Amino acid sequence: METTLRGVGVSHGVAIGEVRHMGTAVLEPPAKQIPTDEAEREQGRARQAVEAVAADLIARGNLAGGEAQHVLEAQAMMAQDPELMADVDRRIAVGSTAERGVYDAFAAYRALLANAGEYLAGRVADLDDVRNRIVARLLGVPMPGVPDSDEPYVLIARDLAPADTALLDPALVLGFVTEEGGPTSHSAILARALGVPAVVALPGAGELAEGTVVAVDGSTGEVFVEPTADKRAELEAAAAARRAALSASTGPGATSDGHKVPLLANIGGPADVPAAVEAGAEGVGLFRTEFLFLDDSKRAPSEEKQVEAYRKVLEAFPEGRVVVRVLDAGADKPLEFLTPAEEPNPALGVRGLRSLLDHPDVLRTQLTALAKAVAGLPVYLEVMAPMVADRTDAKAFADACREAGLQAKFGAMVEIPSAALRARSILQEVEFLSLGTNDLAQYTFAADRQVGAVSRLQDPWQPALLDLVAASAEAARAEGKSCGVCGEAAADPLLACVLTGLGVTSLSMGAKAIPYVRATLAKYTLAQCERAAAAARATDTADEARAAAQAVLSGE
């Protein structure tokens, strides 16, 4: 009998197939004591396992490339975190085995995150995965992972670590469903990059029996268990219609009545450029430069290395627009040379622009490198600061850009509610705004973007979040300046129409989402988008907002 489950759709498309579960293993080592004279040997075993796991993660990243490579390199850094390793050494010194020392040290850090709501570079699922890989190596047991199968299947898991998601074979893994995670988790981001339909935060997904046939709609978040023949036909027809619309939609982003909405790509470095170009991106709306800095947490990359990476990206978009975000460090992206070692709540501490203003030499080097990289190129460079709170922040950033001799537009990211509420004030110092909806939702609702239990508050359809977007767009319009969205919200085709109706002037997203958004925008007039936006803001919940906008655009 067909039943319907609902989670959070994070990657477009429909997948129909039999359920296969992610392999699991009991990886809690026994709590036995060792003699004191064995501590040094056990500490050496732990260090060797950590280095081996870090090397494996880097190798997997090299195979995957693109965004996945950056994520896995960050996860490798987590494996080698000096504070965690110091805790492991302390536990071994008082009698723990290497595997038990690793297990308990990671468990203590995980408990700290769960209780305090703090961030970690690899996030909670990433932390568990690193721990499991190190412990499995020490115990000499195989790692749990993606099941072996000769036939395509739908993968079910509690959560997927980046090391698993990055190397999924789309020819075999038709789609995946997880019990945990959220729309901005690493699994969701990598699923979109792979083009694999995915639903996350689905309670009870692990109870689906092996071999059960399911249909996964990554657009709506619905999972149909044992779908009827009619439901299969309906979903397959809808998927075919989407594919046809995608192939027919080309050119710049615009509504059906010609209102231009440039569609830009979010990238992490030169490796992501080919996919953006292939998708028809009109430029780059978010160049996350922090990935350049994750290769070595102890020191910033040289000016020469930065110039080389920036120029490769800028050269790919002649006459196009490239928006570069300067280093966004701290909180979930800690760097030893930049971020404080001890903070009670890093998410609310010294991160983003605050870190750079505390280390003006790092900011100056990056801005100088950008100035050199763009010299002589026919590209429209725009540079923006992360985590701008007020006009004082905006002025400090703009002054630093001018002092570095940077010939570009200077902008501010709106990720803190204060920036949205005082957007006109900030626009006295900078020339554009860019809304980071992931962090803006997090700070608006006090909801950690990595905690699945609060994923409903991370839903970008929340009316309060739409109100802040509208306030920012209205301020930019009043000042005659631009206001884009570069958060994951822009990748939702229906929400892209609503954002356009709110007055957003450009949309930036993962390359795979661009064709979907382009095709959907082209179906509606600007007036329809404005009515849908007004209808969404008039509701009280994310589900109601989504339904209201859909009703307007479908003519109901």
Q: Which residues are catalytic?
A: 186, 486
| Terminal alpha carbon distance of the chain | 30
DSSP states of 416-468: SHHHHHTHHHHTTT-SEEEE-HHHHHHHHHT--TT-GGGGGGG-TT-HHHHHH
Cα–Cα distance, 100 to 120 (Å, whole number): 22
Q: Are 99 and 53 in contact (CB under 8 A)?
A: no
Pairing outcome for strands 8-11 and 198-200: antiparallel
The residue to which tokens 């395509």 are assigned? 152
Residues 6+ apart with CB under 8 A from 311: 373, 374, 377
Q: What's the Cα-to-Cα distance from 269 to each of 68, 275, 360, 393, rounded to whole Å? A: 11, 12, 23, 26
Q: Based on C-alpha coordinates, what's the Rg of the chain?
A: 23
- For residue 512, give every residue at least 6 positions away whose Cβ sits within 8 Å of its Cβ, in sequence order, or none: 11, 192, 193, 194, 195, 275, 279
d(CA 385, CA 414): 9
Token pair belonging to 49: 């396992």
Which string of b and e fits 166-178 if b means at least 16 CB within 10 Å? bbbeeebbbbbbb
Distance of alpha carbon 361 from alpha carbon 200, whole angstroms? 41
d(CA 540, CA 549): 13
Q: For the beta carbon of residue 478, count every other beta carbon within 10 angstroms.
A: 11
Amino acid making up residue 401: C
CA 92 – CA 97 distance, rounded (Å): 6
DSSP β-bridge partners for residue 527: none
Burial 124-142 (b: 16+ CB within 10 A, else e): bbbbbbbbbbbbbbbbeee
Other C-beta atoms closer than 10 Å to the C-beta of 454 total: 17
Q: Which two tokens stand for residue 3?
A: 């039943």
Identify the CA nearest to 261 among candidates 529, 521, 525: 521
